Protein backbone atom coordinates (compact mmCIF):
# COMPACT_ATOMS: atom_id res chain seq x y z
CA UNK A 1 0.00 0.00 0.00
CA UNK A 2 2.71 2.41 1.02
CA UNK A 3 4.83 1.50 -1.97
CA UNK A 4 1.84 2.15 -4.20
CA UNK A 5 1.27 5.55 -2.63
CA UNK A 6 4.95 6.33 -2.96
CA UNK A 7 5.02 5.47 -6.65
CA UNK A 8 1.84 7.47 -7.24
CA UNK A 9 3.43 10.41 -5.50
CA UNK A 10 6.56 10.11 -7.58
CA UNK A 11 4.56 9.92 -10.80
CA UNK A 12 2.73 13.06 -9.76
CA UNK A 13 6.02 14.81 -9.00
CA UNK A 14 7.22 13.95 -12.48
CA UNK A 15 3.96 15.27 -13.95
CA UNK A 16 4.28 18.51 -12.02
CA UNK A 17 7.92 18.91 -13.07
CA UNK A 18 6.97 18.34 -16.68
CA UNK A 19 4.19 20.93 -16.38
CA UNK A 20 6.64 23.46 -14.95
CA UNK A 21 9.14 22.61 -17.72
CA UNK A 22 6.51 23.19 -20.36
CA UNK A 23 5.58 26.47 -18.75
CA UNK A 24 9.20 27.65 -18.69
CA UNK A 25 9.74 26.66 -22.27
CA UNK A 26 6.50 28.40 -23.21
CA UNK A 27 7.54 31.66 -21.61
CA UNK A 28 10.92 31.57 -23.33
CA UNK A 29 9.33 31.26 -26.79
CA UNK A 30 9.36 34.39 -28.93
CA UNK A 31 6.24 36.45 -28.55
CA UNK A 32 4.92 36.03 -32.13
CA UNK A 33 5.16 32.27 -31.70
CA UNK A 34 3.20 32.35 -28.51
CA UNK A 35 0.49 34.48 -30.06
CA UNK A 36 0.29 32.19 -33.08
CA UNK A 37 -0.05 29.07 -30.92
CA UNK A 38 -2.67 30.76 -28.75
CA UNK A 39 -4.70 31.74 -31.79
CA UNK A 40 -4.50 28.20 -33.13
CA UNK A 41 -5.62 26.84 -29.77
CA UNK A 42 -8.54 29.27 -29.58
CA UNK A 43 -9.54 28.34 -33.11
CA UNK A 44 -9.51 24.71 -32.03
CA UNK A 45 -11.77 25.56 -29.10
CA UNK A 46 -14.23 27.32 -31.41
CA UNK A 47 -14.34 24.39 -33.79
CA UNK A 48 -14.63 21.68 -31.11
CA UNK A 49 -18.39 21.11 -31.56
CA UNK A 50 -17.92 20.24 -35.23
CA UNK A 51 -14.82 18.08 -34.90
CA UNK A 52 -16.38 15.04 -33.26
CA UNK A 53 -13.13 13.81 -31.72
CA UNK A 54 -13.51 10.24 -30.48
CA UNK A 55 -13.10 9.50 -26.75
CA UNK A 56 -13.75 13.03 -25.57
CA UNK A 57 -17.23 13.43 -27.07
CA UNK A 58 -20.05 12.54 -24.74
CA UNK A 59 -22.11 9.58 -25.90
CA UNK A 60 -25.18 10.24 -23.74
CA UNK A 61 -25.64 14.00 -24.04
CA UNK A 62 -25.29 16.62 -26.72
CA UNK A 63 -21.59 17.41 -26.86
CA UNK A 64 -22.10 21.09 -27.69
CA UNK A 65 -24.27 21.51 -24.61
CA UNK A 66 -21.55 19.95 -22.51
CA UNK A 67 -19.02 22.33 -24.03
CA UNK A 68 -21.32 25.23 -23.24
CA UNK A 69 -21.62 24.05 -19.64
CA UNK A 70 -17.83 23.79 -19.46
CA UNK A 71 -17.48 27.34 -20.74
CA UNK A 72 -19.96 28.67 -18.19
CA UNK A 73 -18.21 26.81 -15.38
CA UNK A 74 -14.87 28.20 -16.51
CA UNK A 75 -16.35 31.68 -16.32
CA UNK A 76 -17.61 30.92 -12.81
CA UNK A 77 -14.18 29.64 -11.87
CA UNK A 78 -12.46 32.73 -13.28
CA UNK A 79 -14.71 34.92 -11.15
CA UNK A 80 -14.33 32.77 -8.06
CA UNK A 81 -10.59 32.73 -8.62
CA UNK A 82 -10.50 36.50 -8.21
CA UNK A 83 -12.13 36.14 -4.79
CA UNK A 84 -10.45 32.96 -3.54
CA UNK A 85 -7.27 32.58 -5.53
CA UNK A 86 -6.15 36.19 -5.76
CA UNK A 87 -7.60 37.96 -2.73
CA UNK A 88 -7.74 34.85 -0.53
CA UNK A 89 -11.34 35.41 0.62
CA UNK A 90 -13.36 32.28 1.11
CA UNK A 91 -16.71 32.70 -0.60
CA UNK A 92 -18.92 29.63 -0.17
CA UNK A 93 -22.09 31.33 -1.41
CA UNK A 94 -20.87 32.35 -4.83
CA UNK A 95 -23.94 30.77 -6.36
CA UNK A 96 -25.93 33.66 -4.89
CA UNK A 97 -24.36 36.08 -7.36
CA UNK A 98 -24.90 33.60 -10.18
CA UNK A 99 -28.56 33.47 -9.22
CA UNK A 100 -28.83 37.25 -8.97
CA UNK A 101 -27.45 37.64 -12.50
CA UNK A 102 -29.67 34.92 -13.90
CA UNK A 103 -32.82 36.21 -12.26
CA UNK A 104 -32.16 39.78 -13.31
CA UNK A 105 -32.10 38.74 -16.95
CA UNK A 106 -35.18 36.58 -16.49
CA UNK A 107 -37.21 39.19 -14.65
CA UNK A 108 -36.34 42.09 -16.94
CA UNK A 109 -36.42 40.19 -20.20
CA UNK A 110 -39.14 37.59 -19.96
CA UNK A 111 -42.67 38.50 -21.04
CA UNK A 112 -43.94 36.11 -18.35
CA UNK A 113 -42.22 37.71 -15.40
CA UNK A 114 -44.14 39.88 -12.92
CA UNK A 115 -42.28 42.92 -14.26
CA UNK A 116 -44.11 43.56 -17.49
CA UNK A 117 -41.62 45.68 -19.41
CA UNK A 118 -39.64 43.39 -21.65
CA UNK A 119 -36.12 44.52 -22.39
CA UNK A 120 -34.01 42.87 -25.08
CA UNK A 121 -31.23 40.51 -24.05
CA UNK A 122 -28.48 42.91 -24.90
CA UNK A 123 -29.87 45.42 -22.39
CA UNK A 124 -30.61 42.83 -19.70
CA UNK A 125 -27.13 41.37 -19.47
CA UNK A 126 -25.27 44.58 -18.54
CA UNK A 127 -27.99 45.32 -16.00
CA UNK A 128 -27.58 41.80 -14.61
CA UNK A 129 -23.84 42.32 -14.24
CA UNK A 130 -24.42 45.63 -12.50
CA UNK A 131 -27.03 44.20 -10.13
CA UNK A 132 -24.80 41.24 -9.25
CA UNK A 133 -21.91 43.60 -8.63
CA UNK A 134 -24.10 45.74 -6.42
CA UNK A 135 -25.20 42.69 -4.45
CA UNK A 136 -21.53 41.84 -3.99
CA UNK A 137 -20.86 45.29 -2.57
CA UNK A 138 -23.94 45.12 -0.34
CA UNK A 139 -22.83 41.75 1.02
CA UNK A 140 -19.18 42.71 1.25
CA UNK A 141 -19.57 46.10 2.89
CA UNK A 142 -20.57 44.81 6.32
CA UNK A 143 -18.98 41.36 6.18
CA UNK A 144 -15.51 41.92 4.74
CA UNK A 145 -14.45 43.43 8.04
CA UNK A 146 -15.05 40.06 9.66
CA UNK A 147 -12.38 37.43 10.07
CA UNK A 148 -11.89 34.91 7.29
CA UNK A 149 -13.68 31.96 8.88
CA UNK A 150 -16.76 34.02 9.55
CA UNK A 151 -16.80 35.29 6.01
CA UNK A 152 -17.23 31.67 4.92
CA UNK A 153 -20.37 31.15 6.98
CA UNK A 154 -21.83 34.55 6.14
CA UNK A 155 -21.41 34.00 2.42
CA UNK A 156 -22.92 30.55 2.83
CA UNK A 157 -25.86 32.24 4.49
CA UNK A 158 -26.10 34.72 1.63
CA UNK A 159 -26.30 31.91 -0.91
CA UNK A 160 -29.07 30.25 1.07
CA UNK A 161 -30.96 33.52 1.52
CA UNK A 162 -30.93 34.14 -2.23
CA UNK A 163 -32.20 30.61 -2.87
CA UNK A 164 -35.00 30.87 -0.31
CA UNK A 165 -35.92 34.28 -1.68
CA UNK A 166 -36.08 32.89 -5.21
CA UNK A 167 -38.22 30.03 -3.97
CA UNK A 168 -40.73 32.11 -2.06
CA UNK A 169 -40.86 35.58 -3.53
CA UNK A 170 -43.53 36.84 -5.88
CA UNK A 171 -41.12 38.61 -8.17
CA UNK A 172 -39.36 35.34 -9.03
CA UNK A 173 -42.64 33.45 -9.47
CA UNK A 174 -41.62 31.10 -6.66
CA UNK A 175 -41.07 27.50 -7.58
CA UNK A 176 -43.04 27.81 -10.83
CA UNK A 177 -40.16 29.89 -12.09
CA UNK A 178 -39.97 32.11 -15.13
CA UNK A 179 -39.92 30.80 -18.66
CA UNK A 180 -39.05 32.55 -21.92
CA UNK A 181 -35.86 34.02 -20.53
CA UNK A 182 -34.60 36.19 -23.40
CA UNK A 183 -31.95 34.89 -25.76
CA UNK A 184 -29.77 37.07 -27.95
CA UNK A 185 -31.83 37.74 -31.05
CA UNK A 186 -30.85 38.92 -34.48
CA UNK A 187 -32.31 42.31 -33.74
CA UNK A 188 -29.57 42.77 -31.13
CA UNK A 189 -26.74 42.44 -33.61
CA UNK A 190 -25.29 45.40 -35.49
CA UNK A 191 -26.35 45.35 -39.12
CA UNK A 192 -22.94 44.29 -40.49
CA UNK A 193 -23.08 41.16 -38.31
CA UNK A 194 -26.50 39.91 -39.34
CA UNK A 195 -24.90 37.31 -41.61
CA UNK A 196 -23.45 35.69 -38.50
CA UNK A 197 -26.47 34.51 -36.54
CA UNK A 198 -27.62 32.18 -39.31
CA UNK A 199 -24.43 30.61 -40.59
CA UNK A 200 -24.83 27.35 -38.74
CA UNK A 201 -26.66 24.95 -41.04
CA UNK A 202 -28.96 27.73 -42.11
CA UNK A 203 -30.61 27.90 -38.71
CA UNK A 204 -30.34 30.90 -36.42
CA UNK A 205 -27.45 30.14 -34.05
CA UNK A 206 -29.24 31.31 -30.93
CA UNK A 207 -32.25 29.07 -30.90
CA UNK A 208 -33.40 26.24 -28.73
CA UNK A 209 -32.51 23.75 -31.42
CA UNK A 210 -28.97 24.94 -31.84
CA UNK A 211 -26.61 25.39 -28.94
CA UNK A 212 -23.55 26.26 -30.93
CA UNK A 213 -24.20 29.99 -30.84
CA UNK A 214 -24.38 29.92 -27.09
CA UNK A 215 -21.15 27.98 -26.91
CA UNK A 216 -19.37 30.47 -29.13
CA UNK A 217 -20.80 33.36 -27.17
CA UNK A 218 -19.77 31.86 -23.83
CA UNK A 219 -16.31 31.03 -25.15
CA UNK A 220 -15.85 34.59 -26.39
CA UNK A 221 -16.94 35.98 -23.04
CA UNK A 222 -14.60 33.59 -21.22
CA UNK A 223 -11.62 34.65 -23.32
CA UNK A 224 -12.36 38.35 -22.83
CA UNK A 225 -12.82 37.91 -19.08
CA UNK A 226 -9.68 35.82 -18.71
CA UNK A 227 -7.64 38.44 -20.49
CA UNK A 228 -9.22 41.17 -18.38
CA UNK A 229 -8.55 39.37 -15.10
CA UNK A 230 -5.02 38.70 -16.24
CA UNK A 231 -4.46 42.42 -16.76
CA UNK A 232 -5.95 43.13 -13.34
CA UNK A 233 -3.78 40.50 -11.72
CA UNK A 234 -0.63 42.19 -12.98
CA UNK A 235 -1.74 45.68 -12.04
CA UNK A 236 -1.51 47.55 -8.77
CA UNK A 237 -4.86 46.02 -7.78
CA UNK A 238 -3.61 42.49 -8.38
CA UNK A 239 -0.46 43.08 -6.35
CA UNK A 240 -2.58 44.41 -3.51
CA UNK A 241 -4.72 41.26 -3.62
CA UNK A 242 -1.64 39.07 -3.41
CA UNK A 243 -0.38 41.07 -0.45
CA UNK A 244 -3.74 40.73 1.29
CA UNK A 245 -3.83 37.00 0.63
CA UNK A 246 -0.37 36.35 1.98
CA UNK A 247 -0.59 38.53 5.07
CA UNK A 248 -3.41 40.96 5.54
CA UNK A 249 -1.97 42.75 8.55
CA UNK A 250 1.40 43.27 6.91
CA UNK A 251 -0.34 44.57 3.79
CA UNK A 252 -2.34 47.06 5.82
CA UNK A 253 0.84 48.24 7.56
CA UNK A 254 2.57 48.71 4.24
CA UNK A 255 -0.19 51.09 3.20
CA UNK A 256 -2.47 48.83 1.16
CA UNK A 257 -6.08 49.88 1.77
CA UNK A 258 -7.10 46.28 2.40
CA UNK A 259 -10.81 46.80 2.89
CA UNK A 260 -11.13 48.73 -0.36
CA UNK A 261 -9.32 46.09 -2.40
CA UNK A 262 -11.17 43.23 -0.73
CA UNK A 263 -14.41 44.93 -1.65
CA UNK A 264 -13.15 45.32 -5.22
CA UNK A 265 -12.31 41.64 -5.40
CA UNK A 266 -15.75 40.79 -4.10
CA UNK A 267 -17.49 43.10 -6.55
CA UNK A 268 -15.53 41.90 -9.57
CA UNK A 269 -16.07 38.28 -8.57
CA UNK A 270 -19.77 38.94 -8.13
CA UNK A 271 -20.00 40.64 -11.52
CA UNK A 272 -18.41 37.64 -13.24
CA UNK A 273 -20.71 35.30 -11.31
CA UNK A 274 -23.73 37.30 -12.40
CA UNK A 275 -22.56 37.27 -16.00
CA UNK A 276 -22.15 33.49 -15.99
CA UNK A 277 -25.60 33.03 -14.48
CA UNK A 278 -27.09 35.33 -17.10
CA UNK A 279 -25.38 33.41 -19.90
CA UNK A 280 -26.35 29.99 -18.65
CA UNK A 281 -30.02 30.78 -18.21
CA UNK A 282 -30.25 32.58 -21.55
CA UNK A 283 -29.58 29.18 -23.03
CA UNK A 284 -31.87 27.30 -20.64
CA UNK A 285 -34.69 29.83 -21.21
CA UNK A 286 -36.29 28.58 -18.00
CA UNK A 287 -35.31 29.43 -14.47
CA UNK A 288 -36.55 28.46 -11.04
CA UNK A 289 -35.01 28.08 -7.64
CA UNK A 290 -33.75 24.56 -8.30
CA UNK A 291 -30.18 24.52 -9.40
CA UNK A 292 -29.07 27.22 -6.99
CA UNK A 293 -28.31 24.88 -4.13
CA UNK A 294 -25.39 25.54 -1.84
CA UNK A 295 -23.91 22.19 -2.66
CA UNK A 296 -23.10 23.31 -6.21
CA UNK A 297 -21.55 26.43 -4.76
CA UNK A 298 -19.28 24.38 -2.54
CA UNK A 299 -18.35 22.16 -5.49
CA UNK A 300 -17.26 25.29 -7.38
CA UNK A 301 -14.94 26.27 -4.57
CA UNK A 302 -13.55 22.76 -4.63
CA UNK A 303 -13.04 22.97 -8.40
CA UNK A 304 -11.09 26.20 -8.05
CA UNK A 305 -8.83 24.79 -5.36
CA UNK A 306 -8.32 21.47 -7.15
CA UNK A 307 -7.39 23.23 -10.37
CA UNK A 308 -4.93 25.50 -8.60
CA UNK A 309 -6.25 28.66 -6.96
CA UNK A 310 -4.51 31.75 -8.25
CA UNK A 311 -3.69 30.32 -11.66
CA UNK A 312 -6.29 31.02 -14.34
CA UNK A 313 -5.36 28.05 -16.46
CA UNK A 314 -5.52 25.84 -13.38
CA UNK A 315 -8.96 26.95 -12.28
CA UNK A 316 -10.18 26.56 -15.86
CA UNK A 317 -8.99 22.95 -15.81
CA UNK A 318 -10.70 22.39 -12.45
CA UNK A 319 -13.97 23.82 -13.75
CA UNK A 320 -13.84 21.77 -16.95
CA UNK A 321 -13.25 18.60 -14.94
CA UNK A 322 -16.20 19.44 -12.72
CA UNK A 323 -18.52 20.08 -15.68
CA UNK A 324 -17.21 17.47 -18.08
CA UNK A 325 -16.51 14.32 -16.07
CA UNK A 326 -20.09 13.77 -14.81
CA UNK A 327 -21.40 14.13 -18.37
CA UNK A 328 -18.79 11.87 -19.88
CA UNK A 329 -19.14 9.12 -17.30
CA UNK A 330 -22.88 8.98 -16.90
CA UNK A 331 -22.76 5.31 -15.98
CA UNK A 332 -21.18 6.19 -12.66
CA UNK A 333 -23.93 8.67 -11.76
CA UNK A 334 -24.53 7.12 -8.36
CA UNK A 335 -20.92 7.16 -7.34
CA UNK A 336 -19.50 10.20 -9.06
CA UNK A 337 -19.82 12.51 -6.06
CA UNK A 338 -18.41 9.83 -3.80
CA UNK A 339 -15.38 9.53 -6.07
CA UNK A 340 -15.19 13.30 -6.19
CA UNK A 341 -15.13 13.55 -2.39
CA UNK A 342 -12.39 10.98 -2.05
CA UNK A 343 -10.46 12.71 -4.81
CA UNK A 344 -10.68 15.98 -2.91
CA UNK A 345 -9.11 14.45 0.20
CA UNK A 346 -6.39 12.73 -1.78
CA UNK A 347 -5.67 15.95 -3.68
CA UNK A 348 -5.32 18.06 -0.58
CA UNK A 349 -2.91 15.57 0.95
CA UNK A 350 -0.70 15.06 -2.07
CA UNK A 351 -1.10 18.24 -4.09
CA UNK A 352 -2.46 21.03 -1.91
CA UNK A 353 -1.38 23.60 -4.49
CA UNK A 354 -3.73 22.17 -7.12
CA UNK A 355 -3.24 20.44 -10.47
CA UNK A 356 -1.71 23.47 -12.17
CA UNK A 357 -0.52 25.63 -9.30
CA UNK A 358 0.23 29.30 -9.50
CA UNK A 359 3.96 29.74 -9.16
CA UNK A 360 3.73 32.20 -6.31
CA UNK A 361 1.41 29.99 -4.30
CA UNK A 362 3.71 27.00 -4.64
CA UNK A 363 6.49 29.01 -3.04
CA UNK A 364 4.10 30.11 -0.31
CA UNK A 365 3.14 26.52 0.50
CA UNK A 366 6.75 25.37 0.55
CA UNK A 367 7.54 28.15 3.01
CA UNK A 368 4.72 27.05 5.25
CA UNK A 369 5.81 23.40 5.15
CA UNK A 370 9.27 24.47 6.31
CA UNK A 371 7.74 26.27 9.25
CA UNK A 372 5.76 23.17 10.24
CA UNK A 373 6.08 22.43 13.95
CA UNK A 374 8.25 19.47 14.76
CA UNK A 375 5.67 17.94 17.08
Partner 1 sequence: MNFQFVLDNLAALTVTGLTQGSIYALVALGYTLVYGVLRLINFAHSEVFMIGTFTTTIIWAALGFGVGAAAPSTLGVLGLILAAVLAAGAASGATALVVERVAYRPLRKRNAPPLIFLISAIGASVALMEAAGAITNRQPRGMPSLVFPKVQFSIFGADVTNLQLGIIFSALLMWVGLDTFINRSRLGRGVRAVAQNPEVAALMGVNKDRVIMLIFILGGAMAGAASVLYDVKVGLTTYSVGFLIGIKAFTAAVLGGIGNLRGALLGGLLLGVVENYGAGVFGNQWMDVVAFLVLVVVLLFRPNGLLGESLGRARA
In whole angstroms, give the CA distance from residue 76 to residue 277. 8
CB of 1: closest distance to partner 1 in angstroms?
14
Q: How many other β-carbons are positioned within 10 Å of the β-carbon of residue 234?
A: 10
Residues 6-26 as b/e (b if ≥16 CB within 10 A, e otherwise) read eeeeeeeeeebeebeeeeeee
368 binds partner 1 (CB under 8 A): yes
User: Is 349 among the residues that bind partner 1 (CB under 8 A)?
Assistant: yes
**8 A C-beta contact, residue 303 and residue 351:** no
> Is residue 164 a contact point for partner 1 (CB under 8 A)?
yes
Shortest distance (Å) from residue 270 CB to partner 1: 17
Please give the backbone phi and psi of residue 207, each rounded to the nearest 5 degrees, phi first.
-135, 170
What mask of x and - would describe binding to partner 1 in positions 42 to 81, judged by CB under 8 A?
A: ----------------------------------------
Report in angstroms how near the CB of residue 94 gets to partner 1 at its nearest.
14
Is 150 a binder of partner 1 (CB under 8 A)?
Answer: yes
- 355 lies in the binding site for partner 1 (CB under 8 A): no
Those residues with Cβ within 8 angstroms of residue 189's Cβ, 6 or more apart along the chain or in another chain: 196, 197
Which residues sit opposite 203 in a β-bridge? 200
CA atoms within 13 A on the CB side of 299: 19
| Cβ closest to partner 1, residue 25 vs residue 370 | 370
Longest distance between any two alpha carbons in the chain, whole Å:
70
CA of residue 3 relative to chain centroid, distance: 37
Determine the Cα–Cα distance for residues 367 and 329; give it in Å rounded to an integer. Answer: 39
Cα separation, 66 vs 74, in Å, equals 12
263 binds partner 1, rule: CB under 8 A: no
Q: How far is the CB of 160 from partner 1 (least distance, A)?
A: 6
1 binds partner 1 (CB under 8 A): no
Pick one of 42, 247, 341, 359: the residue that binds partner 1 (CB under 8 A).
341
Among 24, 52, 149, 170, binds partner 1 (CB under 8 A): 149
> CA dist 221 to 50, 54, 68, 225, Å?
20, 27, 12, 6
Q: Judged by CB under 8 A, which of 18, 43, 199, 338 binds partner 1?
A: 338
To partner 1, the closest distance from the beta carbon of 297 in angstroms equals: 11
Q: Does the footprint of partner 1 cover residue 4 (CB under 8 A)?
A: no
Find the binding residues for partner 1 in span 281-310 (CB under 8 A): 294-295, 298, 301-302, 305-306, 309
Q: Which is nearer to partner 1, 90 or 223 (CB)?
A: 90
Q: What is the DSSP letter of 178?
A: E
Q: Which stretch binds partner 1 (CB under 8 A): 147-155, 228-236, 249-257, 263-271?
A: 147-155
Between 163 and 200, CB nearer to partner 1: 163
Amino acid sequence: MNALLESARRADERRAKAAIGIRDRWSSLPRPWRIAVLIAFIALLYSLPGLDIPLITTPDTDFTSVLFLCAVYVLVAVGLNVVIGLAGLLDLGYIGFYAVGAYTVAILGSPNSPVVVKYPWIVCVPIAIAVAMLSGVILGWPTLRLRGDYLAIVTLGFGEIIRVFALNSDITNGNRGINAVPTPSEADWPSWMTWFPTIHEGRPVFSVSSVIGFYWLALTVVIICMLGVRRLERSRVGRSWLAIREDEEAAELMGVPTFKYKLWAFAIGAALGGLSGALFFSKQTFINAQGFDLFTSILWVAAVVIGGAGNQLGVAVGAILLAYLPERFREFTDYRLLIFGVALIVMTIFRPQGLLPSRRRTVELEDRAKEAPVA
